[in-house]
Structure 1
Amino acid sequence: MSYNFFNTFVRLPLFLRVLIIALIVIISFGSFVHLLEPEQFPTIFEGVWWAIITASTVGYGDFVPKSVPGRLAGMALILTGAGFLATYFASLATAAVTKQNEFLEGKADFKGKDHIIVIGWNERTRGILRTLCTNNKNISIALIDESLDKNPLPTMNVHFIQGRSNLDEVLIKANIFDAVKVIITADPNKGELHADMGSILTLLAVKGLNPKIQCIVEILTSEQVANAKRAGADEIVQTNILTSYVMINSISSQQLVTSFLDLLNQLDKRNLTFKPAVPEVVNMNFMDLSHLLMKEGILLLGIKRGEETLLNPPHPFTIIHQDQLIVIMNDN
């Protein structure tokens, strides 16, 4: 019994062990001085109060032992209790600093729910995190990366997890089970093929732990798109296609490319999103619906019907119940 108690005690954090010892010393001396001088300390509470004030070296002087044994007890208390209290506060401060360093260095588990997990650190990730945090102050984000030594955005609501994203223990530290979405970016330090293979391996690990979570994956090579779909990617972003489009069209029409890039920049200030086709708009044609939404300050770009995306479909085009409207809305 005593061995089990001692074994449990030594496993406690240092500041808790020191606090328990300090409390035992203070209560013991408070009870002892009450027995020595019941006139000066009528109750054990007064004795404990005196012990706390004496051990903390505050010394209010409202309760003072008069007898020699009582003063000897006070001296012993100062020599023992004050040391334990000082050690307790020092260990408490050390624990706080250690905990803060764990958060900065990505060693602390994420305890939140309904958050977004972003995997991989690069300039695209920086832009994604800044936009997410700016557009939604209440959003919680867990960033996983093995190349960083500390949180790159400590002033934002970003919890950093240091480690390899294809390991179960790292994903569990990011609370993959309660996350709502995962964004996997390509590793810029690897070749395109190896980066895609790493992204797909991470995707498999994510889906293995949480098959229902929505995953957005950046794929660089077209031949790996099919593998990403097989691995369970819900959305695939092919950044090289956009880059190729900009570079090819810049040869023939610089003004077109400039306007296109300006359009992308302006989308940061607006909300490009999907809206479900509510019953009121079902069976309307695309042109009439576009005019109706324009009166509300909403720009209708196209329709997502199943796996097919139709931008500015030819007239006449009738809206059906399963359609998703691709629209741009002002933030305000």
Structure 2
Amino acid sequence: MSVSFYQRFLRWPILVRTLVIALAAISAFGILIHIIEPVNFPTIFDGIWWALITTSTVGYGDYVPLTTSGRIIAMLLIFLGAGFLTTYFVTLAASTVTTQNAYLEGKASFMGKEHTIIVGWNERSREIIDQLLSFDGSNLVTLIDDSLTENPYKNPCIHFIKGQSFRDDILKKAGVNTAEIAVITADQNKNEIDADMNTVMTLLAMKGINPKLYCVAEVLTGDHIANAERAGADEVIQTNKQTSYIIMDSILSKGMSTTILELLNHLKGNNLQVIDPIEECHNKTFQEISNLLLKQNIILLGLKKGERTIVNPPLETIIYADDGLLVISTEKGKKKSG
């Protein structure tokens, strides 16, 4: 029994072991001094109090051993107990510094839940994180990146994990099991094909660990859209194609790039989203629903029928219960399910 306890004791963290030994030594010497000098140390608590004050080198002098045996006990306590107590505080300080460095350098595991995982450090991920924090300062974000040497944010809501995003151990450190959504950005340090392959590998790893995780993947080439969807991406964003659309709009109508950015700027209250039509909108025309929503300060842009999105449909188009309404609203609406 004693051997088994000793073996378990050796597996405890050194900080805990040192504290247990120090407290045991203080308690033992406190009881011993009470037995040797019961007049000067009337109770066991008085003895333990004296032992604690002695080992901490405070030395109030309220209790002092007067016999030779008591003073020998005091000397042993100073050599033994003070050494363990000093070791404990040194270990505690070292452990604190080590833990702080682990968080800063991306080596510590994330312990929260219902957070957002951002893969890759670049200007896009910086903008995403900044907007999430501006939108709600309590948002928890875990950033996974292999190129950074330390957390680029001092905000405690941003947890940094250093490593390759397709590795299971790195994803588990980032809390992929308890995450609510993951955004995988394309690695700008790789060519387009390699960056997309890295995105697909990360998707496969994430969905393999947590199939229910909602994943938004950025791809650079059209060839890998199907691969990203097969890997389990809930949304695929082809950055190059979207950028080319904005540039083309700017060529045809100068100034459109700024207008589009303002339109999509959630920080200024303009939320582009797909919502479910309320019951009174069922089987009504696009024009009727548009007029109804305008009274609520909601602008109707188009419809989402299954996987097909129709922008500015004919005014006589009928809206059905399972259709989604593409709107711009100043408030969060009820998003289209599925």
With over 3 angstroms needed to count, the CA separation of the structure-2 counterparts of 1:156 and 1:317, relative to structure 1, is farther
Answer yes or no: is 1:28 the counterpart of 2:28: yes
Q: Is this contact kept in 2: 1:286–1:318, CA < 8 A?
A: yes
Distance 1:267 1:19 in 2: 52
* Residue-by-residue CA offset, 1:119-164 (whole Å, 9 max, x unaligned): 1111100000111111112221111111111111232511111111
* Residue-by-residue CA offset, 1:239-265 (whole Å, 9 max, x unaligned): 10122123334344323344334434x
Distance 1:281 1:244 in 2: 36
TM-score by structure 2 length?
A: 0.91
Distance 1:233 1:158 in 2: 24
SS at match of 2:159: strand
Partner of 2:336: none
With over 3 angstroms needed to count, the CA separation of the structure-2 counterparts of 1:314 and 1:213, relative to structure 1, is same
Distance 2:293 2:93 in 1: 58
Task: Kindly state the Cα deviation for residue 114 of structure 1 after the two structures are TM-superposed.
Answer: 1.2
Partner of 1:253: 253
SS at match of 1:254: coil
| Structure 1, unpaired ranges of 5+ | none
Task: Kindly state the Cα deviation for residue 295 of structure 1 after the two structures are TM-superposed.
Answer: 2.3
Distance 1:156 1:130 in 2: 14
State the superposition RMSD in angstroms. Answer: 1.9
Distance 1:256 1:9 in 2: 69
SS at match of 1:280: helix
Distance 1:269 1:156 in 2: 25
Distance 1:169 1:314 in 2: 52
Distance 2:107 2:240 in 1: 34
Partner of 2:67: 67
Deviates more, 1:322-331 or 1:26-35: 322-331
Distance 1:93 1:262 in 2: 50
Partner of 2:164: 164
Distance 1:37 1:156 in 2: 53
**Equivalences for residues 210-229 of structure 1 within 5 A:** 210-229=210-229
* Residue-by-residue CA offset, 1:67-100 (whole Å, 9 max, x unaligned): 2222222222222212211211111111111111
Q: Which amino acid in structure 2 is aligned with residue 268 of structure 1?
A: L
Identity percentage of aligned residues: 49
Deviates more, 1:58-67 or 1:206-215: 58-67
Partner of 1:287: 287
SS at match of 1:64: coil
With over 3 angstroms needed to count, the CA separation of the structure-2 counterparts of 1:274 and 1:261, relative to structure 1, is closer
Partner of 1:176: 176
Partner of 1:276: 276
| Structure 2, unpaired ranges of 5+ | 333-338
Partner of 1:16: 16
Answer yes or no: is 1:240 the counterpart of 2:237: no
Task: Kindly state the Cα deviation for residue 331 of structure 1 after the two structures are TM-superposed.
Answer: 5.8
Partner of 2:58: 58
Task: Kindly state the Cα deviation for residue 117 of structure 1 after the two structures are TM-superposed.
Answer: 1.1
Q: Is this contact kept in 1: 2:135–2:267, CA < 8 A?
A: no
Distance 2:323 2:331 in 1: 23
